Amino acid sequence: MHPATRQAQRAHTARRIALISVGVSSLLAFSKLLIGWMAGSTAVVADGFESAGDVVGSTIVLLGLIAAARPPDAEHPYGHGRFEMLSGLAVGILLSAAGAGICMHALDHVSERHATPALYAIWPLIVSIVIKVGLSTLKFRFGKRTGSGALIADAWNDTVDILSGAAALVALGLTLMDPSRFVHSDQYGGVAVGLIVVFTGARIVRETSLQLVDTMPDGALMSQIRAVALAVPGVEGVEKCYARKTGFEYHVDLHLEVDPDITVRESHDIATAVRIQLKENLDFIADVLVHVEPAPAHREAQPR
């Protein structure tokens, strides 16, 4: 399959999942905010604000995926894949800011006396946890399959919703179980929700930032690239190997070592064969730039 076609299919799948997430998160946020307010639960309202942040985050991811799917042009020869990374970064920043706001809101009301929340406040939390488990699993699976950093960031966003929902459920449960003893548990549950959101947002910011500054992928992936290149007849060594992510896939720079006595045409044919083999055998590669160098007359053993 042509890399452009493969990337388009991946982007289409990721967009569909992000669109579903926007709809589901909107319903969950509305139900938590409404029922939390009616039941008098700070923890449920805090979790509702977190879900509202999910709506914004999933919308940002969706817009980033739409932009990333645009084909390369004269000004963007490597494509528009980094819009997808930028959307993941935006989700991380949004989460951190939302978490800080949730903490501040909960702490502002922690010293106040509150009526015991109504029992029915637990239901939107339980429903949210069940649905978000399914959504996060789906996004992690397709995010890893398509190489979408933004979809994985949104999956972490859903994981935060699971953790925050569980924290809110525990806090609300303690308040309902013994209101006199755990009178402020509901408010502290809101603080716990905020802290979970802040730390997860910081993690997403770190991971997407590393991709945006062209951090090399892990050693296992680089070893796969070297192994495929070295298996091509005529390749005597791989002197340098670099890779950077541009959206769903990687662009690779290779410095191959070949017999210095062969012709330019022969060395060009070897380089072309390496490029073809890498793109056909490793579906995470968008394109390969190959530089050919003469191999040393007496090579020392080197790790490959």
Cα Rg, the chain, nearest whole Å: 25
Q: What is the mean pLDDT of residues 251-262?
A: 90
Short-list 108, 86, 120, CA closest to 194: 108
Answer yes or no: is pLDDT of 279 > 70: yes
50-86: buried (b, 16+ CB within 10 Å) or exposed (e) per residue?
A: bbbbbbbbbbbbbbbbbbbbeeeeeeeeebbbbbbbb
CB-based contact 172:121 (threshold 8 Å): yes
Answer yes or no: is pLDDT of 300 > 60: no
Q: What is the largest CA-CA distance in the chain?
A: 88
Answer yes or no: is pLDDT of 250 > 80: yes
**Share above pLDDT 70 across residues of the chain, in percent, rounded to a whole number:** 85
pLDDT at 3: 52
What are phi and psi for residue 298, nearest 5 degrees? Answer: -125, 90
- For 16-25, write each residue's pLDDT tens digit: 777 787 888 8
Helix 122-146, helix 3-39: angle, nearest 10 = 170
Q: Which residue has the higher pLDDT, 12 or 297?
A: 12
Which domains are delineated in the chain?
Answer: 3-212 (1.20.1510.10), 219-294 (3.30.70.1350)
Both tokens of residue 124?
A: 């939107």
- For 43-61, write each residue's pLDDT tens digit: 777 778 777 777 777 787 7
Q: Which residue has the higher pLDDT, 271 or 84?
A: 271
pLDDT at 297: 57
- For 184-194, write each residue's pLDDT tens digit: 676 677 777 77
User: What is the distance between the alpha carbons of residues 196 and 181, in angstroms, rounded to a whole number?
Assistant: 25
- When mean pLDDT is compared across 128-142, 157-171, 271-285, the lowest value belongs to 157-171
pLDDT at 103: 80
Q: Which residue has the higher pLDDT, 94 or 153?
A: 94
Exposed, middle or buried, 160 (CB in 10 Å: 0-12/13-18/19+)? buried
Answer yes or no: is pLDDT of 37 > 80: yes
- For 228-249, write each residue's pLDDT tens digit: 999 999 999 898 899 888 766 7
Q: In what order do the strands lie in the sheet with 237-246?
A: 237-246, 249-258, 285-294
User: What is the distance between the alpha carbons of residues 200 and 203, in angstroms, rounded to a whole number?
Assistant: 5
